[in-house]
Amino acid sequence: MYKGLIERYKDYLKDIYFQNIITLNEGNTPFIRSSNLKDITGNCNLYFKYEGANPTGSFKDRGMTAAITKAVNDGSKSVICASTGNTSASAAAYAARAGLRCIVLIPEGKVAMGKLAQALVYGADIIQVKGNFDEALNLVKEAAERFPVTIVNSINPYRLEGQKTGAFEICDDLGKAPDYQFMPVGNAGNITAYWKGYKEYWENKVIDSLPKMMGVQAAGAAPIVEGRVIKNPETIATAIRIGNPASWDKANAALKESQGAIDKVTDDEILEAYRLLSSKEGIFAEPASCASLAGLIKYAKNHDLSGKTVVCILTGNGLKDPDTAMDVEMDLKYISPNIDDLMNVLS
């Protein structure tokens, strides 16, 4: 039986391989070949890594099994995070399982409904901050200096250890490294983690090449692309609505070392990718996730990718943010319950 990613990749996770592992059998997510987007993705061999299939619906579970396992084995009794939604959902679930108190700070009014519902039912102490994510994260850092609580944001190094296993799974499924990996970038923890994972597989000769890391930010929240802190980040992709990424330097290192690049896409481009992914591929991913595909579509407009193996990371599940779906797709038909009406609307 599959027992979660710490067990599967214990040889690469020695610092968190304890007797008592806190897991929800995260990881081992679907790796799906794209079938209907060839013409707009430069004729590449495209795959999606569907992280929305994790137990709480995002890749954050990879990091959280690691961070919470480490916290419990260090004797911690409570954890804290700032969150645009998915970190709080994941932290709350793993903390519940471990019997820890979980405190989450979320920017008021800017968290998708499904994510808030998750933190609620998992029993976290939810505190809304009248400010943005970056301000909430600063509060978390200060709080952790004043009372005994473990931070489980991606500044916690064990989060990145868990998240690097996404790269391992991709290589294990492909039998090699991809040529390019596109992914959304918010706090830049995940791009840092993936790059670490690829490098470890390369150093251990599991793969003999490395992918170019291709980061994608939302146009209204693109600090790394623009090289400056964004005071009031804005985008429909709330999971990457971040103006001052915690792992900024590490992301730049990953981009440089891998000879990759980072670019920004507009909310319209994100929503276009969101529609394409669901209507052409049958995959429902939340808006932030679709930035990866939007970034690839933009890149393919003036780069030749034919024959290249490309992976888009789909970081979170579309069900978390039903409001966006309803705004985009609100074309419902109404009939009386009789067959003539039905035949009418169908013809």
Which residues bind to ligand PLP, rule: CB under 6 A? 58, 60, 86, 154, 184-190, 239-240, 286, 288-289, 315-316
Q: Which is nearer to ligand PLP, 42 or 79 (CB)?
A: 79
Cβ proximity to ligand PLP, 183 vs 210, nearer residue: 183
CA dihedral 167, 250, 247, 170 (to 10 degrees): -10
* DSSP-derived 3-state class of residue 269: helix
CB of 224 to ligand PLP, least distance (A): 10
Query: How far apart (Å, rounded) are the C-alpha atoms in residues 309 and 89?
Result: 32
Give yes or no for a contact between 104 and 81, defined as CB atoms under 8 angstroms apart. Answer: yes
Q: Which is nearer to ligand PLP, 206 or 253 (CB)?
A: 253
Q: How far is the CB of 7 from ligand PLP (least distance, A)?
A: 23
- Between residues 89 and 98, which has the closer beta carbon with respect to ligand PLP? 89
Least distance to ligand PLP from the beta carbon of 185, Å?
A: 5
Q: Which is nearer to ligand PLP, 70 or 159 (CB)?
A: 159
Copy the structure tokens of residue 267: 């909310």
- DSSP state at residue 263: E
Measured from the CB of residue 261, what is the shortest distance to ligand PLP in angstroms? 16
91 vs 308, which CB is nearer to ligand PLP? 91
Contact 47, 31 (CB under 8 A): yes
Rounded to a whole number of angstroms, the minimum distance from the CB of residue 131 to ligand PLP is 18
- For 75, which DSSP code? T
Residue nearest ligand PLP (C-beta atom): 316
Closest approach of ligand PLP to the CB of residue 306, in Å: 28
- Is residue 103 within 8 A of residue 132, CB to CB? The reply is no
The residue type at 122:
Y
CB of 184 to ligand PLP, least distance (A): 4
Quick one: 42 or 269, whose CB is closer to ligand PLP? 269
37 vs 137 by CB, closer to ligand PLP: 137
Q: For residues 45-58, b (16+ Cβ closer than 10 Å) or e, as one string?
A: bbbbbbbbbbbbbb
**In the complex, minimum distance from the CB of residue 37 to ligand PLP, in angstroms, rounded to a whole number:** 20
* Structural contact between residues 42 and 305, judged by C-beta atoms closer than 8 angstroms: yes
- Token pair 């290589």: residue: 171
Whether the Cβ atoms of residue 184 and residue 292 lie closer than 8 Å to each other: yes
Do the beta carbons of residue 324 and residue 195 sit within 8 Å?
A: no
The two beta strands, 45-50 and 31-33, are antiparallel
